[in-house]
Amino acid sequence: MKTLIYLGVILGTVILLFGGFILYSMLTWYDPPQKLTLAENAKPDPINCDSTLSVLSWNIGYAGLGDDMDFFYDGGKKVRGSYERTVVNLDSISHFLKQNSSKSFTLIQEIDLHSRRSYYLNELNTLTTETSYFSSLAPNYVVGFVPVPPSSPMGQVNSGIMTLSQYLPTNSIRYAYPGTFGWPNRLFNLRRCMLVNRYPTSNGKELVLINSHMSAFDDGSLKKREMLYLKEFILIEHSLGNYVVVGGDWNQSPPNFPVTRFGENFQSESFLLTNIAEDFMPADWNWVFDPEFPTNRYLNETYTPGHTFRCLIDMFLVSPNVEVLHNKTIDLSFRNSDHNPIEMNFRLIK
């Protein structure tokens, strides 16, 4: 009888703790409005249409996904690397961005503010302390405690996407992408978004610069909704005569680009690499990427050149009134992030 009572107490305690945890997760669930203004400026910097502008985009993998890492979501085993290596990664990322500080705009994905996976380092402060750039950050992963994997939970995550700019924008706005995971998974997953900066130009129109990070670990339905939302948004902007530049991590390859260009595709249960549809955008819009170098490597294993699967999922999309002058992928051999940075020079056509 006593044994049954003890078992009942233990079971009741477990149920109570689990229920309390779910309630806590529901009450702290990050659920921002669909449109969240992050900054407004009464005197933005106008951009001369004759200027040559430059943009860099890089998913820095929160300085935790260097070439020494595999990751449990991608078929690996690890949750985070060592503190020492995370600091080295962050220092190297910071050094690279300082070397490229002449860029007009810098788009960063997966930057942590206070996360267990990156040892609670404030990466925003590290990457913005020594720059005079205007910076804006849109949170997209804010969870009090991620309980997976059970053997070593990811824990607290506070992360987002950041745009740095030499020009002061009219405003900087977070737009929520539609769709969420099913319950209760939605409580512990990203709230995907795009970060939109607007700049006045010398011909009375606006440059609309978009920093985006699409869904990865879904069945494809969330990504489809996100893409359709983005498409409608940018087509409206272009119809108003505005210039549109979208950059970031699309978690899919460009239209018609061979997904096995850099090796046989590793089959992951959680991520299926696909192409953006050839007819997704009107033919006069331009997908901008460097076909010679991969931008991402899989995390099912530590990085082994010639063996680890690599792919191209980071790129730019520009409207017909944007002239692309140069673009390339900067091959850093995935030393400090599972992504390589990409860059583009462009001009606004009057």
Q: Return d(Cα 316, Cα 345) in angstroms, integer.
A: 11
Q: Return d(Cα 271, Cα 276) in angstroms, integer.
A: 15
Q: Return d(Cα 38, Cα 138) in angstroms, integer.
A: 8
Report pLDDT for 181: 78
Mean pLDDT of the residues in the chain: 93
Enumerate residues 6+ apart whose C-beta is below 8 A from 73: 217, 270, 271, 299
- pLDDT tens-place string over residues 214-269: 998 877 889 999 999 999 999 999 999 999 999 999 999 999 999 999 987 666 76
- pLDDT tens-place string over residues 260-307: 999 876 667 677 899 999 999 999 999 999 999 999 999 999 999 989
- Tokens 């939302």, residue? 229
Report pLDDT for 266: 65
DSSP state of 245: E
Report pLDDT for 184: 82
How large is the greatest C-alpha to C-alpha distance in the chain, in angstroms? 86
Regarding pTM above 0.85, the answer is yes
